[in-house]
Structure 1
Amino acid sequence: MRITVIGGGHGSYAAAAEMYEKGHDVVWWRRDRPAFDALLAVGALQIDDHRGARTVPIGSDGGVAIEADLGAAMKGAEVVIAPVPAFAHEDLARAMAPHLEDGQVVYLPPGSFGSYVFARAAAEAGNSAKAAFAETGTLPYLARKHGVDRVVVSGYATRLPTGVFPANDTDRALDVLGRVYPVERSEDALSGALMNAGPVIHPPLILMNAGPLEHFDAWDIHNEGTQDAIRRVTNALDAERVAVREALGYGAPHFPLADHYSADGDEWMYGNAAHEKLTDSGDWREKIDLHTHRYMREDVEIGLALLTSVGRWAGVPTPVASGLLAVANAITGRTPDTGGRTFEALGLAGLDRGQMTNLMQDGVAL
């Protein structure tokens, strides 16, 4: 299968390597094309995981192809995997919109309701291609880059609840994605967005560890930063997410984050004991700038703001999420809707339940 990987982050590196190793025809594009020069000079990407270390050829015949032109990169692709931060979605959606083709599936892992952003961009560009936009609750990889030519994968997703926009294309889209990832059906794109674990796990960890993060050169929020008091806040925040899902009529499984921390609970997205794999790797001991890090810009200012806005629309109180947004605002000086992904900012707050259902089911009208 021809697969296009978008981006130059941890997830994109891992995706390019895994898709190649699975035997797919892989094309890789990133906005900053010169950033690939060092990797091309080496000619190979090293991947380290539970199976050991090995290399994937980059730029050579039969290897992962590096493409400078986005249109050329997308041409003929059956799946476009875009594990990019949500704050990059608007620009990327506009850039991709003219190049979408019939039958393509664009996968956003995770999406923060980016599937709607991409579909709307295609409609605004006048592209009538029958493409599907899908999103899930987490990156398919616990991964970190180590330099320009090495990625370490501490864990792979075993369950990826995935919503599709428009939902009337779900069967086809999941059939295609099922040849790539362990996807599971979510009702629609908004259901998939409300599976996003980042806005639940990361805001309490960075905001309640703000002191250590500013004091130490590096701090592991997932290890010594994960204490019982913070876990209780995370559980309360996750309960708000589940309450919003239930108010919208979305059914179980809701993938509660508590299962991520449990060694013997229901299998979560990364399987059991994934938290231990993450902390044991040591790869998440890092410097987190509270103003610029993606945990703030993506998970708080986009993901958490989206959750509270959906709660307002559905009539579900979200006091913990709202409180965390207020703390973030005090730290950064930016407003909670900075990321522009609230229902209000998207122009969806005025829809009634029936109109929202129709939008999720049928897509954006051209």
Structure 2
Amino acid sequence: MRIAVLGGGHGCYAAAAELSARGHEVWFWRRDAAAFEAIREQGGIEVRDHAGTRIVPVAHLESDLGAALAATELVIIPLPATAHEDLAKACAPHWRDGQVVFLPPGTLGSLLFVKAARAAGNQARVRFAETGTLPYLVRKHGPASIVVSVYATRLPTGVFPAADADEVIGLLQQAYPSVEPCGDILSGALMNAGPIIHPPLIMMNAGPLEHFDAWDIHNEGTQPSIRAVTNALDGERMAIREKLGYPAPHFPLADHYSKDGEEWMYGNSAHEKLTDSGDWREKIDLQTHRYMREDTAIGLALFVSAGRWAGQPMAVGEGLLALASAITGEDLYAAGRTFENLGLAGDSPADLQERLHHGF
């Protein structure tokens, strides 16, 4: 299959390498053409994982976005949600009928891409899909090297428009066999683990994060009291899903931490593999880090707004968002990717279901 991978983040490098290794023809795009020089010199991306170390060649290292999109049928965008708005505008003129765009995770970013395309006068029928996490726990260890601690084993994925779900899921599974259907993109967005894991971890570890040069919130930062808050927050997420009529499985986050529970997105014992890697011992700036800017200001704001709209409020979520707003000195809800800012707040449940099923 001809696949474009857009972006230069950890997950982008992992996607370009894994999909190339699976035999797909990959166009790996990023704005900074010079950043590819190390990959060219090395002959590919160095991958270190449970299978050892190897160099994976990538067919096309591309700095022309239009060329990458013109050549491909599936587009993978494993970027933080903070990048969606600018990238949506850049992609808007280039979409073609029949393309599928996969946002892992998406946080309803699909709607931004659709609106940007329509604003640019592009009426192409492009389908979007969103899942609950990156397909990898991965960190770059240099300009052409990555270490993958864990590969996703289950990727619950929602499709927009949902009427095309069977076709889109079938295409995605050629790239990611771990993809499994979970309905529409709001269902997919409400599977996002980041807004559940990271806001409690950064807010409740704010002292050590600001005191120490580096701190591993997933290791010494994950203590019983913080887990209790995370579980409560995740309970609120699942209550919203149930209120909106989305069926189980809801992928409770408790399974991520369990060695023998129901298989979660990264399989069993994933948390231990993550902490054993040591790759998440880092400096987290509470003003700028993606755990604040993506998972809290965008992701948690979306969850809170969905709860308000559905009549299933999130007391813990509201509290964490208020703390984050106090820390940053900003009203994160007002600026967030909320139902209000996406133009969904005025929809009735029937209207929203119609939009998500048939498109805009």
- The 8 Å contact of residues 321 and 333 in structure 2, kept in 1 or not, is answered as no
Residue of structure 1 equivalent to 2:115: 120
- Structure 2 residue identity aligned to 1:342: T
After TM superposition, the structure 1 = structure 2 runs for residues 128-143 of structure 1, keeping only pairs within 5 Å, are: 128-143=123-138
CA distance in 2, matches of 1:188, 1:124: 23
SS of the equivalent of 1:360 reads helix
SS of the equivalent of 1:324 reads helix
Percent of matched pairs sharing the same residue: 66
Task: After superposition, give the CA deviation of every residue in 1:79-105 in whole Å (9 maximum; x if it has no partner).
Answer: 100011101101111111211112111
- Segments of 5+ residues of structure 1 without an aligned counterpart are 58-62
After TM superposition, the structure 1 = structure 2 runs for residues 141-290 of structure 1, keeping only pairs within 5 Å, are: 141-181=136-176, 182-290=178-286
Task: After superposition, give the CA deviation of every residue in 1:22-76 in whole Å (9 maximum; x if it has no partner).
Answer: 000010111233332343343321000110000022xxxxx43111110101113
Deviation at 1:117, TM superposition (A): 1.5
SS of the equivalent of 2:20 reads helix
Deviation at 1:339, TM superposition (A): 4.9
CA distance in 1, matches of 2:352, 2:82: 24
CA distance in 1, matches of 2:118, 2:304: 27
1:79 maps to 2:74? yes
After TM superposition, the structure 1 = structure 2 runs for residues 92-107 of structure 1, keeping only pairs within 5 Å, are: 92-107=87-102
- The 8 Å contact of residues 256 and 268 in structure 2, kept in 1 or not, is answered as yes
Residue of structure 2 equivalent to 1:18: 18
Deviation at 1:122, TM superposition (A): 1.9
Task: After superposition, give the CA deviation of every residue in 1:106-127 in whole Å (9 maximum; x if it has no partner).
Answer: 0000011111211222222222
Give the structure-2-normalised TM-score: 0.98
- The 8 Å contact of residues 45 and 55 in structure 1, kept in 2 or not, is answered as yes
Which stretch shifts more, 88-97 or 295-304?
88-97
Residue of structure 1 equivalent to 2:2: 2
Which stretch shifts more, 165-174 or 94-103?
94-103
CA distance in 2, matches of 1:155, 1:358: 37
Task: After superposition, give the CA deviation of every residue in 1:324-347 in whole Å (9 maximum; x if it has no partner).
Answer: 011111111011236531011111
CA distance in 2, matches of 1:152, 1:254: 29
- The 8 Å contact of residues 43 and 55 in structure 2, kept in 1 or not, is answered as no
- Structure 1 residue identity aligned to 2:168: A
- Structure 2 residue identity aligned to 1:25: E
- Structure 2 residue identity aligned to 1:45: I
- The 8 Å contact of residues 340 and 346 in structure 1, kept in 2 or not, is answered as no
Task: After superposition, give the CA deviation of every residue in 1:253-298 in whole Å (9 maximum; x if it has no partner).
Answer: 0000000000000000000000001001110011111111000000
After TM superposition, the structure 1 = structure 2 runs for residues 307-322 of structure 1, keeping only pairs within 5 Å, are: 307-322=303-318
CA distance in 2, matches of 1:65, 1:332: 40
Residue of structure 1 equivalent to 2:40: 40
- Structure 2 residue identity aligned to 1:48: R
SS of the equivalent of 1:154 reads strand
- Segments of 5+ residues of structure 2 without an aligned counterpart are none
CA distance in 1, matches of 2:150, 2:269: 10
CA distance in 2, matches of 1:14, 1:339: 31
Could you tell me which of 282, 305, 308 is aligned with 2:301?
305
Q: 1:242 to 1:88 in 2, by over 3 A?
A: same
- The number of equivalent residue pairs is 359
Q: 1:339 to 1:299 in 2, by over 3 A?
A: farther
CA distance in 2, matches of 1:47, 1:12: 13
Give the structure-1-normalised TM-score: 0.96
CA distance in 2, matches of 1:338, 1:261: 33
CA distance in 2, matches of 1:6, 1:214: 33
Residue of structure 2 equivalent to 1:30: 30
